[in-house]
């Protein structure tokens, strides 16, 4: 019989082997071409791309610049302003509080925030639930979706990426005065609901949002560089916006055109400890940390959530008609859910989870193919919604046209 030390040594070697990258050279070559082309064409300044299959890292790269003006190259441990990459992490913390019985999905928001009572245009004040905040069916909106001169603009509602030093209480006061776009539960509209949820989590847990997210999500997963404050400012990537002939550096209070409106960015916000922790847009972190989180979700939630909780989060809660990432996409708790790959014209399998972040990020989890793709860039909006996102996806699946 083999001795215990030999058995332990064998186990350690097996664990180490699992942790080692298992490169896919053909896939890496395709991805590297896409990234190199985006940088050469000055659509991206810098990027970190990680791809895992079955829990093994099969591609990892850093390319371009973290700070173009200073000539600082991008590194794989670069820290990025997450923007909406924050949402799934905060949503996971909310679902953990549901597991603990401190929160229920059908609780009215007023149970925790009694003064938050936005009204419909006819001045009736409907009940908004935690579930509706999580699924963006509350009737709330974002300022950057609203036309100039609308209530979100006149009330100076923050989208969570501007106005350093603003408190959550004040922003919720402003938001609560803006009329709801529709009766809660009747439609889907991407919104500040997760910022409101952040306030709910603080009351439900008795902790600050940064503390509860750290306790329930980032610390158990070893996401040491991810939080509402920058762990190492020397690794913080400088943000850029789409521009011709090259992306332009984003400066404070810069409005970057998006759709029919514009998104207001204030990059220094994340360095101001007085800024409220935006549950929808306020975190920073690394690609590696995000991959850890998404792998936990892909494999059933341990050590942060129960398998049945994650299963509910991965189910479409709003219906394919919401078209949350275009045709074929619904929404779960924290991310879009792919219902119809044919309608979406994507090689991703049904049940794929996907979202992004306004500073230039995209990610997806394809459970059927055991794939996770994380692409954090420092260029808005090419890295979130430009051709790069589709080109990268098709390079991963080998379906590039």
The pair of structure tokens assigned to 290 is 């995000």
Q: Is 46 helix (H, G, I), strand (E, B) or coil?
A: strand
Which among 3, 14, 28, 84 is annotated as catalytic? 84
Closest CA to 130 of 158, 111, 152: 111
290 and 49 in contact (C-beta within 8 Å)?
Answer: no
Beta bridge pairs of residue 331: 336
**How far is the C-alpha of 316 from the C-alpha of 340, rounded, in Å?**
11
**How far is the C-alpha of 44 from the C-alpha of 128, rounded, in Å?**
40
| Residue 275 annotated to the active site | no
DSSP 147-195: PTTSHHHHTT---SSS-TT--HHHHHHHHHHSPPSS-TTS-----THHH
Which helix (H) or strand (E) element contains residue 329? strand 329-331
Task: For residue 169, give Cα distances in angstroms to 110, 126, 273, 320.
Answer: 14, 21, 15, 34
Q: Is 52 helix (H, G, I), strand (E, B) or coil?
A: strand
Closest CA to 265 of 160, 386, 382: 160
The pair of structure tokens assigned to 164 is 């350093």
Q: Which residues are catalytic?
A: 84
């Amino acid at each position: 019989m083999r001795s215990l030390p030999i058995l332990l040594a064998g186990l350690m070697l097996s664990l180490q082997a699992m942790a080692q990258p298992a490169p896919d050279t053909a896939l890496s070559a395709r991805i590297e071409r896409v990234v190199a082309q985006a940088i050469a064409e000055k659509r991206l300044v810098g990027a970190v791309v990680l791809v895992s299959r079955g829990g093994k890292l099969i591609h990892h790269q850093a390319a371009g610049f973290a700070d173009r003006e200073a000539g600082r190259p991008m590194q794989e441990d670069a820290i990025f302003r997450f923007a909406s990459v924050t949402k799934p992490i905060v949503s996971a913390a909310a679902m953990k509080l549901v597991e603990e019985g401190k929160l229920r999905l059908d609780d009215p928001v007023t149970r925790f925030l009694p003064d938050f009572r936005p009204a419909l245009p006819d001045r009736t004040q409907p009940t908004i639930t935690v579930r509706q905040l999580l699924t963006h069916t509350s009737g709330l909106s974002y300022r950057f979706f609203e036309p100039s001169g609308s209530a979100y603009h006149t009330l100076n509602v923050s989208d969570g990426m501007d106005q350093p030093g603003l408190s959550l209480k004040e922003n919720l006061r402003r938001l609560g005065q803006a009329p709801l776009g529709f009766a809660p539960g009747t439609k889907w509209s991407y919104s500040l609901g997760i910022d409101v949820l952040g306030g709910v989590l603080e009351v439900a847990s008795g902790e600050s949002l940064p503390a509860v997210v750290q306790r329930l999500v980032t610390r158990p997963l070893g996401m040491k560089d991810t939080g509402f404050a920058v762990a190492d400012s020397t690794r913080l990537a400088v943000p850029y916006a789409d521009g011709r002939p090259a992306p332009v550096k984003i400066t404070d209070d810069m409005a970057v055109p998006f759709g029919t409106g514009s998104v207001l960015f204030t990059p220094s916000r994340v360095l101001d400890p007085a800024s409220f922790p935006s549950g929808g847009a306020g975190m920073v972190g690394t690609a590696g940390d995000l991959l850890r989180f998404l792998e936990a979700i892909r494999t059933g939630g341990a050590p942060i959530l129960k398998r049945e909780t994650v299963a509910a989060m991965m189910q479409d809660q709003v219906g394919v008609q919401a078209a949350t990432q275009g045709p074929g996409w619904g929404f779960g708790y924290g991310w879009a859910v792919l219902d119809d790959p044919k309608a979406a014209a994507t090689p991703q399998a049904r049940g794929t989870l996907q979202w992004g972040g306004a500073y230039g990020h995209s990610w997806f989890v394809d459970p059927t193919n055991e794939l996770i793709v994380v692409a954090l860039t420092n260029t808005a909006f090419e890295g979130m919604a430009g051709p790069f996102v589709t080109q990268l996806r098709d390079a991963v699946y080998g379906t590039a046209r």
